Structure 1
Amino acid sequence: MAPARATAPDPCVAAFFDLDNTVVRGASLFYFARGLHARGFFSSRELRGFARRAVHFALRGEVHGHLLEVRELALAFVAGHSTAEIRAIGEEVYEEHVEAKVRPGVRVLADRHLAQGAPVWLVTAAPVELADVVARRLGLTGALGTVAESVDGVYTGRLVGEPVHGAAKAAAVRALAERSGWDLARCAAYSDSANDLPLLSMVGRPVAVNPDRSLRRHAARHGWEVREFRGWHRAARWTVRAGTAGAAGAAALVLAGLVRRAA
């Protein structure tokens, strides 16, 4: 009787990657804000005011309030500008700030899925304009990101739906999987943050990448794969993890650093 052959692992049907601190070191919204500020979208005085409000929310532990502030501020910055202009800035911001922050180890993981014929999607709360650029430059299949409403090619200052964050990110991936006919039990997802537990928990292969403390504990309890690519680059100090009261404080420090550079 011939010995049984060892079978190769079943390749994932699709893979989903978080952006901030997973694919890219640091917060993509920070890099986008740097690009907008450099192009005169807002003043240092406006940014200082926002930083003060971020500190206020941090001290009160009102993380949700801070996230709403981030959303409203971003929408106010782009209102009245054309979608073509913002997308062009996204291309420039990628080259100026984001490209050098891509984690080589995570890119290898994404490329491995692509080589096996699996679609690879970037899924992030960052503006879809920036997410699209990152996905295309890395050769990924596509991107899901937060969408700002536009009419006749001009931003209105309102969102389409909710920010692609937490449960909303999981819902966006589920909808994409249903449209594409993918079995989520045969898909993979990669993230650094416990905020993405709704997404990680619904796929067959959840992977914690440079996980925060909460995600690391959860991964250990459930036997999830953990990948470490943490070369402590300067940008890593600007991490924004919006699951704890410290997140708003981190965001305030990010903004304060931007203000110093703008001064």
Structure 2
Amino acid sequence: MTPAEESKPAPSPIAAADRPPADMAAAAFFDVDNTLMRGASLFYLARGLHSRDYYPTREFLSAGWQQLKFRIGGAEDADGISQIRELGLAFIAGWEVDDLAELASEIFDEALATKIWPGTAALAQRHLDQGQRVWLVTAAPVEIAQLIADRLNLTGALGTIAETQDGRYTGRLVGDLMHGQAKAEAVRILAARENLDLSRCAAYSDSANDVPMLSLVGMPYAINPDRKLRRYARKNGWRIRDFRRARRAARAGLAAAAMAGAVGGAAAAAAALRRTALGRHHSPLGVPLRRRNSAWWKVR
């Protein structure tokens, strides 16, 4: 370990909190998946929807496989990201925005406390304590990103925008995925709007795909970095923080445990999907949720 390593109109992708900052020129930008929380946030949403009989088994298992590769390998896979995006967009097409928002809130309230990296959350809190604003910057839908930001009392979020029409998702994006260079452009636009001095700002990510965003700021951090980002951070003297514990044991045991769980979960999920075909569902809060009229909902 080197010395640098330390153990309507379309909605805006930027949502700001009401709390006035004391340091107007400095801010921090945090990636979400594998940086702020373990694994992929969209997988946790898919898992929660699946447990409520709203997400088809085959698509859930595909998302689970991508999550498994992400957790073990630590690196984002471009094909995997594209696959999850297409599955997600096809799934939400026709959903009412308010219905999905309510479900997402329930799911993340259940999962968030156990999935957040305490070390990363402490870094975000340190910026807040210094009177600086903190934004999440993620490829996840901006609604999900803002939900997480709200739960952690952060300033706001920048994320991917899903198109809506008449209060329902169309299954298309507004613009492109908030990923790679797009994150850097979004941060640059936000900095100009908020009069931020990027040389005084910090950015945190686990992925080499976020080097453009990390390179924008004066204080870049590699958090739980993939191999490519770790090498780049060492070469450029960036700070490295790795909050993962028992990595070797996890890599040895996670695959077997996940596969065993997937086999058992698939049988239970198939039975749940057969029940799903019988009619309407209600959320745990008793709010009726309409299933969209789509072949996706047929038992496979």
TM-score with structure 1 setting the length: 0.79
Q: In structure 2, do the counterparts of structure 1 residues 187 and 257 end up closer, same or farther at CA, with 3 Å as the change threshold?
A: farther
Which one-letter code corresponds to 2:58 in the other structure? R
2:185 counterpart residue number: 171
Which one-letter code corresponds to 2:265 in the other structure? R
- 1:163-193 CA distance string (max 9 Å, x none): 1111111111111111111121111000111
Q: Percent identity?
A: 56
Which one-letter code corresponds to 2:55 in the other structure? F
**Residue 214 of structure 2 corresponds to residue 210 of structure 1:** no
TM-score with structure 2 setting the length: 0.70
2:207 counterpart residue number: 193
Pairs aligned (count): 232
1:66 counterpart residue number: 80
Q: What is the CA distance between 1:65 and its match in structure 2? A: 3.8
Q: CA RMSD in A?
A: 2.9
- In the alignment, the residues of structure 1 paired with residue 139 and residue 216 of structure 2 have an alpha-carbon distance, to the nearest angstrom, of 18
Q: Aligned to 1:231, what secondary structure does the other structure show?
A: coil
1:41 counterpart residue number: 54
8 Å CA contact 2:43–2:64 kept in 1: the answer is no
8 Å CA contact 2:36–2:120 kept in 1: the answer is yes
2:117 counterpart residue number: 103
Q: What is the CA distance between 1:50 and its match in structure 2? A: 7.1
Question: Structure 2 residue aligned with 1:15, among 18, 28, 36?
Answer: 28
8 Å CA contact 1:188–1:204 kept in 2: the answer is yes
Q: In structure 2, do the counterparts of structure 1 residues 26 and 209 end up closer, same or farther at CA, with 3 Å as the change threshold?
A: same
Question: Structure 2 residue aligned with 1:225, among 236, 239, 243?
Answer: 239
- 1:88-114 CA distance string (max 9 Å, x none): 122111122222111111111111101
1:26 counterpart residue number: 39
Task: Flag structure 1 segments of 5+ consecutive residues without an equivalent.
Answer: 1-9, 55-62, 238-249
Q: What is the CA distance between 1:227 and its match in structure 2? A: 1.2
8 Å CA contact 1:48–1:259 kept in 2: the answer is no
- In the alignment, the residues of structure 2 paired with residue 205 and residue 189 of structure 1 have an alpha-carbon distance, to the nearest angstrom, of 7
1:139 counterpart residue number: 153
Q: What is the CA distance between 1:201 and its match in structure 2? A: 0.8
Which one-letter code corresponds to 1:28 in the other structure? S
**Residue 83 of structure 2 corresponds to residue 83 of structure 1:** no
8 Å CA contact 1:193–1:215 kept in 2: the answer is yes
8 Å CA contact 1:194–1:215 kept in 2: the answer is yes
- In the alignment, the residues of structure 2 paired with residue 128 and residue 259 of structure 1 have an alpha-carbon distance, to the nearest angstrom, of 32
- In the alignment, the residues of structure 1 paired with residue 237 and residue 66 of structure 2 have an alpha-carbon distance, to the nearest angstrom, of 40
Instruction: Point out 4+ residue stretches in structure 1 off by more than 3 angstroms.
Output: 45-54, 63-66, 253-260
Q: In structure 2, do the counterparts of structure 1 residues 101 and 46 end up closer, same or farther at CA, with 3 Å as the change threshold?
A: closer
Q: In structure 2, do the counterparts of structure 1 residues 77 and 219 end up closer, same or farther at CA, with 3 Å as the change threshold?
A: same
Comparing 225-234 and 157-166, the one that deviates more: 225-234
- 1:227-247 CA distance string (max 9 Å, x none): 12112489x76xxxxxxxxxx
Which one-letter code corresponds to 2:112 in the other structure? V
8 Å CA contact 2:47–2:60 kept in 1: the answer is no
Task: Flag structure 2 segments of 5+ consecutive residues without an equivalent.
Answer: 1-22, 68-76, 268-300
Which one-letter code corresponds to 1:44 in the other structure? T
